């Protein structure tokens, strides 16, 4: 796969955003100009992808003159850590600031022998879902490939533990920043770079049909999750406004094509919003929809934040809704365990707390 190495900001190249081929070309030029032997390229890649400290000057076994040249030609970390919070359940939340302005968030979620890195693809989000803290804060721009990859690199350095899974479920709609997402996946999975298994990566989307199909072609091993949240167009359009542009029929057709191309089940994510999408009828509609293609369902209780127009559903309500779905759907129906609630664990909440915004409006539904 070929992607351009262009970046929005002038100055040194963002080295974490370079493909393996691009990096090889740059390193050959740097080593030749510094009078260093070609074998050092492997040494530099080892530092970059396995250890990656905060500064080139810390690359201890690299000659000082070469470290200086690297610092002049390349930018190591485009993100700066602004804040870090640790939850009582071990979840770690990071707030980063971009050089050109705007904040983004990432989360490390431990679960027994798993460590899931939840990463962002945009600063803010333009989609404007009714329940989303990220969208409420506005859209500040697409992340460049290096900014996406740097979340993984920096969290690994800070925590001292790499991920077992990576989910593109943080701030933003990944498939609206398709080129940067694809290049970041390429960098994370390339054997000469981070070498992370594509099977352990999940990309979440509200449903951008053409990009869902393109992702299946580009990365058939990467899993797809569709943020559904309603199984009828009338209700979903109130919760997820972009459904008016890409209605359920088009999203489901693209999901079916993705499953057919990759041989992988689609995960339907469904946030329960009490009094909005949690009635028996909603469960039956969800079950009927999910039966139409290879799938699993992941139910998520809404996680309240200041100004949100919804309440957190009780455990009994989640279990009741799951029971209704299972009456008419034989696939897996899981309930996502809430993590990091004491540190505003859902993406967008930490950044949102730094802003003063009016309360969000609750969408009107027919049964209210």
Residues with active-site annotation: 105, 347
The alpha-helical segments, DSSP class H, found in the chain are: 20-33, 40-46, 64-73, 133-136, 145-159, 178-189, 209-218, 233-239, 248-262, 280-290, 315-328, 349-352
Give the three-state DSSP class for 296: strand
Q: Residue-wise over 61-75: b if at least 16 C-beta within 10 A, else e?
A: ebeeebbebbeebbb
> 190: how many CB neighbours lie within 10 A of its CB?
17
Structural contact between residues 251 and 268, judged by C-beta atoms closer than 8 angstroms: no
Give the three-state DSSP class for 166: strand
Instruction: Enumerate residues 6+ apart whose C-beta is below 8 A from 304.
Output: 310, 311, 312
d(CA 224, CA 264): 8
Q: Residue-wise over 252-279: b if at least 16 C-beta within 10 A, else e?
A: bebbbbbbeebebebbbbbbbbeebbbe
Give the three-state DSSP class for 1: coil
Give the three-state DSSP class for 299: strand
d(CA 366, CA 368): 6
d(CA 177, CA 75): 22
Largest CA distance in the chain: 74
Question: Which is nearest to 201 in space by CA: 217, 214, 220, 228?
Answer: 220
Q: What is the DSSP annotation of 128-139?
A: --TT-HHHHT-E
């Amino acid at each position: 796969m070929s992607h351009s190495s262009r970046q929005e900001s002038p100055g040194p190249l963002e080295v974490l955003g370079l493909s393996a081929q691009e990096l090889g070309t740059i390193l050959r030029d740097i080593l030749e100009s510094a009078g260093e032997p070609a074998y050092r390229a492997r040494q530099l890649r080892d530092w970059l992808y396995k250890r990656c400290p905060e500064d080139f000057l810390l690359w201890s076994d690299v000659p000082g003159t070469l470290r200086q040249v690297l610092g002049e030609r390349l930018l190591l970390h485009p993100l700066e850590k602004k804040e870090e919070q640790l939850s009582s359940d071990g979840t770690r939340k990071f707030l980063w600031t971009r050089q050109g302005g705007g904040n983004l968030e990432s989360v490390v979620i431990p679960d027994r022998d798993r460590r899931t890195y939840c990463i962002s693809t945009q600063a803010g989000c333009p989609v404007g879902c009714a329940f989303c803290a990220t969208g409420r804060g506005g859209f500040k721009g697409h992340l460049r490939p290096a900014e996406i990859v740097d979340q993984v690199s920096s969290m690994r350095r800070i925590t001292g533990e790499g991920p077992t899974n990576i989910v593109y479920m943080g701030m933003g709609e990944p498939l609206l920043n398709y080129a940067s997402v694809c290049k970041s996946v390429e960098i994370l999975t390339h054997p000469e770079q981070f070498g992370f298994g594509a099977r352990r990566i999940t990309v979440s989307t509200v449903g951008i049909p053409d990009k869902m199909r393109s992702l299946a072609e580009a990365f058939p091993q990467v899993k797809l999750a569709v943020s559904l949240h309603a199984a009828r167009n009338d209700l979903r359009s109130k919760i997820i406004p972009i459904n008016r542009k890409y209605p359920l029929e088009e999203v489901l057709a693209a999901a079916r094509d993705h499953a057919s191309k990759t041989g992988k089940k689609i995960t339907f994510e469904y946030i329960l919003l009490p009094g909005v999408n949690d009635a028996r009828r909603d469960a039956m509609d969800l079950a009927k929809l999910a039966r139409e293609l290879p799938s699993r369902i992941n139910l998520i209780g809404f996680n309240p934040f200041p100004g949100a127009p919804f309440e957190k559903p009780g455990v009994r309500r989640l279990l009741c809704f799951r029971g209704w779905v299972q009456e008419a759907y034989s696939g897996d129906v899981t309930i996502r365990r809430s993590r990091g609630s004491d540190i505003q664990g859902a993406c967008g909440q930490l950044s949102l707390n730094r802003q003063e915004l009016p309360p969000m409006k609750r969408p009107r539904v027919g049964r209210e």
